[in-house]
Amino acid sequence: MISDNRIDQCFATLRNEGKSAFVSYICAGDPSMDRSLEIMQALERAGTDIIELGIPFSDPMADGIVNQMAAHRALEAGGTTLGVLELIRRFRKNSDTPIVLFTYLNPVYTYGFEAFHHDAAEAGADGVLLLDLPPDEIARNEELKEIDTLKHIRLIAPTTPEDRIPHLASSSEGFIYYVSRTGVTGAQQNLAEGIAQNVATIQQHATVPVVVGFGISTPEQSAEVARSADGVVVGSAIVRQIEASVDAEDLASEVEAFVKPLVDSAKSV
């Protein structure tokens, strides 16, 4: 049976083409919702396969300073969870690029856990990555029971105990996000060691693709990760480009020009 979820369809197409997915992260509302819409459209033009859209939050504890400041700019500009859903609706008028909401539990819980899932799916989101909600807690809290309107994506890190990987891998939907290094998000000069080996270990237990993020910032790094993973995630490097060009009239075009070589490199291997 063919899934009607855009994430599943995207990976199925890429698998047939023998290519890795390129996933771009931005914080919704940075520097404004209108500019975010322009940036999302630019990411699509650059060849992005999946867009990770951060919901601005005042305490993004897994994020480095670059993404923290993006969330701060979005909040200062009036960014809200409702505003993010409206942004998705506007994007969906002309695009079928899959969207994953990258968020913490607090905004979702405040919105209403079940209502958020239904409203996000209705708006056009395809998946959600709740950074601070371990699957164990879901099992203990009926109000946090996962709802199948969105794909629930799991994080696996280098520090994840080996005996825990099978559970996380088998319960992930859409794809598995392998965090390639410990600590917070942020571009790095060098890739972490052991990515290929760790991805291969996860793939032994996974029924969905494995993508790799945290620290990827150059075309060379993008290509290297694509050789061993089903997808490449670039976030902080894109957000830094947005910050550097925040006042530029052609902000979206500058982001597009920055992202395209990263995409092309991932697709070339």
Q: What are the catalytic residues?
A: 52, 63
Q: Which helix (H) or strand (E) holds 70?
A: helix 65-76
Integer Cα distance of 78 and 105 in angstroms: 20
Q: Which helix (H) or strand (E) holds 101?
A: strand 99-103
Integer Cα distance of 244 and 96 in angstroms: 29
Integer Cα distance of 197 and 200 in angstroms: 5
> Nearest Cα to 103, choosing from 93, 94, 113?
113
Integer Cα distance of 41 and 252 in angstroms: 8
